[in-house]
Chains A and B, each alone.
Chain A
């Protein structure tokens, strides 16, 4: 059988080389007779226990060591003894080494840009913003930090800060106009026309409570045009009141 060609030339690093080539009856890779698989397996289990126990000490670099140091040891044990790489022919080692080299080239080439967010003459503002936003939303949950477990619900989306002027320019001005005269781009298609906030008459015929209701529930809720849409999903009563105050203070001349 071709496979029974002598298996000399194993690396000198394993101490099994002297026996590796003998005694295989069937030629299915005639090695491994001298590896105590059970012992390797038990060592792997002990290492697993240590890697799980490591973080309980609460020391950062100990965790790093028990997590990744032990992972490397475990992987080496499996590769050398279960995959028999330590008594495999050189070609297999070179093939794997070439792959690993490619991997490290990739890592070394990309990692500086990804891991660092600034350097000589450049700054990754987007990445910094993401980190800041993520850390801020994490701090809001600081009180329940000790209770962190699998039961915890996902953190809610960070609430966008409310500002009445922005609300007006983003939502209201489309129809009511940037100047509050009811002449926004959307007004042309509307009948009746949107309210003109600069008129004293407008403010004399409505209470704040009416206006808050209209903003949150729409024009139809007070018998006005249904084309004034309800925005209660975006603004609570307090925010709607702030919008009313903003509009009055901004657009009414001497009202």
Chain B
């Protein structure tokens, strides 16, 4: 296995290039999700009648999915720990656990949405539901994208290749977790 020499470290920042790139991605995500959530927050405060719509979200499903994402973050960081020790196979196994968490999350969310849509709550019902489907949908897209990328990284890691990427996908994954940590009280608890 030979690679051309590439700059893996920026002298001026003292940070591996890939990791710096992930931080930049997350910085842009902060504005994307943050803008969406901030807009939701200000409309929610300005429109007390949204509480009538918010009572219909299912707190237990939201709490269960929070549990799933927290757990998947835990397995992702254990994968990172294994990769640091050079145990690629173990790291890959933890990434697979994380992907299973992502699949569970998306499965539960599909059921939740199916139930809500079949009861007449759609993205056009009112502004609360518009925000609900937009924010949770954008988040779910990030979960799916992260799981797919994690699959590629796990395949490499099992062969002890590109182990540093285990940390990179982990950082992204924890960010997706953090977004949900804020979505959960905003959409499911504040009623």
Contacts and interface: CB of A to CB of B under 8 A. Distances in A.
Interface of A: 2-3, 5, 7, 9, 24-30, 32-33, 37-38, 41, 44-45, 48, 51-52, 54-55, 63-64, 66-68, 70-71, 74-75, 78-79, 81-84, 88-89, 91-92, 95-96, 98-100, 102-103, 106-107, 110-111, 114-117, 127, 130-131, 133-135, 137-138, 141, 148, 150-155
Contacts of A135: 48-49
A96 B29 CA distance: 10
A163 to B, nearest CB: 25
A29 B19 contact: yes
B33 to A, nearest CB: 9
Contacts of B52: 134, 137-138, 141, 155
A66 B42 CA distance: 20
A-B residue pairs, 8 tightest by C-beta: A134-B49, A67-B185, A2-B9, A99-B30, A103-B34, A99-B27, A138-B52, A154-B120
B8 A71 contact: no
Given A51-B184, A107-B41, A115-B46, 16 more contacts: A29-B167, A32-B84, A41-B71, A48-B70, A52-B59, A63-B189, A64-B190, A66-B189, A74-B181, A75-B181, A100-B34, A107-B38, A110-B38, A115-B42, A117-B46, A134-B52
Q: How large is the interface on B (under 10, 10 to 19, 20 to 34, 35 or more residues)?
A: 35 or more
13 contacts: A29-B16, A37-B81, A38-B74, A41-B71, A48-B66, A51-B189, A64-B190, A74-B70, A82-B73, A83-B170, A96-B26, A103-B35, A114-B39
Contacts of B43: 114
B14 A99 contact: no
Nearest to B44: A115
A19 B43 CA distance: 46
Given A26-B86, A28-B83, A95-B23, A150 B56 contact: yes
A131 B190 contact: no
A9 B12 CA distance: 13
B139 interface: no
A30 B184 contact: no
Contact of B42 (A100, A102, A111): A111
A98 B27 contact: yes
Contacts of B97: none
B58 A131 contact: no
Nearest to B74: A41
Contacts of A37: 74, 77-78, 81
Contacts of A7: 14
B161 to A, nearest CB: 12
B60 to A, nearest CB: 8
B49 A82 contact: no
A83 B47 contact: no
Given A67-B185, A106-B38, A131 B48 contact: yes
A187 to B, nearest CB: 39
A117 B55 CA distance: 24
Given A2-B9, A28-B163, A131-B49, A55 B189 contact: yes
A217 to B, nearest CB: 31
B80 interface: yes
B174 interface: yes
Given A37-B74, A52-B59, A154-B119, A79 B174 contact: yes
A152 B84 CA distance: 51
Nearest to B129: A154
A68 B86 CA distance: 39
Contact of B84 (A33, A38, A71, A131): A33
A92 to B, nearest CB: 4
A67 B190 contact: yes
Contacts of B174: 78-79, 82-83
B191 interface: yes
A207 to B, nearest CB: 42
A5 B16 CA distance: 10
Contacts of B163: 26, 28
A99 B74 contact: no
